[in-house]
Amino acid sequence: MSGQSKDKDILVVDDTIENLRLLVSMLSKQGYRVRPVNNGALALQIARTVLPNVILLDIRMPNMNGYEVCSRLKSDPVTRDIPVIFISAQHDIQGKLQAFRVGGVDYITKPFQLAEVRARVETQISLQELRQRDKEYIQNLTREIESRKRAEAQLLEYQQHLEEMVAERTAELRQALEQERSMRAQLIHADRLASMGQLSASIAHEIKNPMQSILGCLGLAREAVEEGEDPGRYFEVAEDAVHRVTDILGQMRELNRPPDDARALTDVTAVLHQVLLLTKKQCEQHNVEVVQKTQSDIQPVWATTDQIYQVFLNLVLNALDAMPQGGQLQITTTQTDRPPGVQIEFQDNGVGISPEHLPHIFEPFFTTKHDGSGLGLAVSYGIVHRHGGKLNATSQLGKGTIFTVWLPTTLR
């Protein structure tokens, strides 16, 4: 009996009695508690009640097929984290891909072997235990953060008490000031811990799904090779997931990228012209009219050209997303004297940003888009800040948004 299988529940769903008996016998001998079910409706009811560690699910069943059962499991907050392994006699690629689309984590083709079923089940249980440990770690970290916040409140209260004592005990002023500095250091440390906890949770959430997809597709690709089939489609799905993870990690590196000393005098109007040429087709497809207003004799700024290009591109694409029904994007470039610099405004007449969201738009991983990573504006903000410039936004719901970039014409 495997130590991993002890106290683990497996829910087996198959309308064929012979298959149920075989799987119950195989898995019970490995020490698992196995619950056999012959229809989807009963499976959903038991899954909510028992919360099994893994569900083995047949596809072809009367009344409710395996795809629908899996979709309902994943849409239910109680059962959505239970890993579902499909077991089916279907060998076609579309059927397997559909299994992953509805939320399956693995796919076993019939007739199955004991070693294969055991290995797939043990793999999912190991992954589930790792996720649980990560969850417990984040919970412990959250409790620690809350404890630090309570300490912060106590420290602030004590600070007020010290300020009242200063007038009465002038001789103790030096000691009181030293205590205050110590308190501020602890508050900063607590704030950093809170930021680390939020960042860790966000990263785990963003890369969890693509990594799960990669694991599943690699398993299917291995099966396809063993069966003499073309594994290309699985590699395409896995490659897309890898690109998504790579993009997220690349943008994360940009958040704290060190200043680039290889700056040169850069014509921002020329950079903006290149960005608009690149996005011209997208603007036409979104039915967005671009109106450009540029003051004459705009001075160059000290900048790394490709980074400023990235900022302008992010802001143009962000404006297109804000105008799904079309509209107008007005870009105005002006010279400023106090302080000396160049200001570029990107004004759209799109849906706008709600007042409660506006203060958070430059925070990493904050996004209101369904498929957004929440890193584009954060990266842009970091680039402009490292150049000694400013990036801010104003917005009204239903009327549009204005992003303003200011860059100095002197090297900072």
pLDDT tens string, the chain, 412 residues long: the values are 455 556 799 999 999 999 899 999 989 998 899 999 999 999 999 999 989 999 999 999 988 999 999 999 999 999 999 999 999 888 889 989 999 999 999 999 888 888 888 899 999 988 988 888 888 888 888 888 888 888 888 878 888 887 888 777 877 888 887 777 655 555 434 444 444 444 454 455 456 556 766 777 788 888 888 888 888 877 887 786 676 667 556 555 554 555 555 688 999 999 999 999 889 999 999 999 999 999 888 999 989 888 999 999 999 999 999 999 999 999 999 999 988 999 999 999 999 999 999 998 888 877 776 565 667 888 899 899 998 999 999 999 999 999 999 999 887 6
The token pair that represents 75 in the structure block: 């849409």
Whole-angstrom distance, CA of residue 349 vs CA of residue 332: 14
Task: Answer yes or no: are the C-beta atoms of 221 and 234 closer than 8 Å.
Answer: yes
SS3 for 331? strand
- Residue in the block written with tokens 């398993």: 219
**10 forms bridges with which residues in the sheet?**
34, 54
Phi, psi of 35 (to 5 degrees): -120, 110
Question: In this predicted structure, what is the pLDDT of residue 209?
Answer: 55
This prediction has a pTM of 0.43
CATH class of the domain whose range is 1-145+216-255:
alpha beta
CATH topology for 264-408 is Heat Shock Protein 90 (3.30.565)
Whole-angstrom distance, CA of residue 341 vs CA of residue 410: 8
Question: In this predicted structure, what is the pLDDT of residue 223?
Answer: 86
Domain with CATH 3.40.50.2300 in the chain: 1-145+216-255
**395 forms bridges with which residues in the sheet?**
401
Query: Using a CB cutoff of 8 Å and minimum separation of 24, what contacts does 224-231 make?
Result: 227/91, 229/93
Question: In this predicted structure, what is the pLDDT of residue 11?
Answer: 95
154-168 in b/e form (b: 16+ CB < 10 A) is ebeeeeeebeeeeee
Whole-angstrom distance, CA of residue 221 vs CA of residue 238: 10
Whole-angstrom distance, CA of residue 162 vs CA of residue 294: 56
What 8-state DSSP symbol labels residue 391?
Answer: E
Domain with CATH 3.30.565.10 in the chain: 264-408
Q: Which residues contact 371 (CB under 8 A, 6 or more apart)?
A: none
Question: In this predicted structure, what is the pLDDT of residue 48?
Answer: 93
- Residue in the block written with tokens 């077991």: 87
Question: In this predicted structure, what is the pLDDT of residue 248?
Answer: 58
Phi, psi of 323 (to 5 degrees): -125, 65
Question: In this predicted structure, what is the pLDDT of residue 40?
Answer: 93
Whole-angstrom distance, CA of residue 138 vs CA of residue 4: 23
Angle between helices 305-322 and 376-386 (to 10 degrees): 140
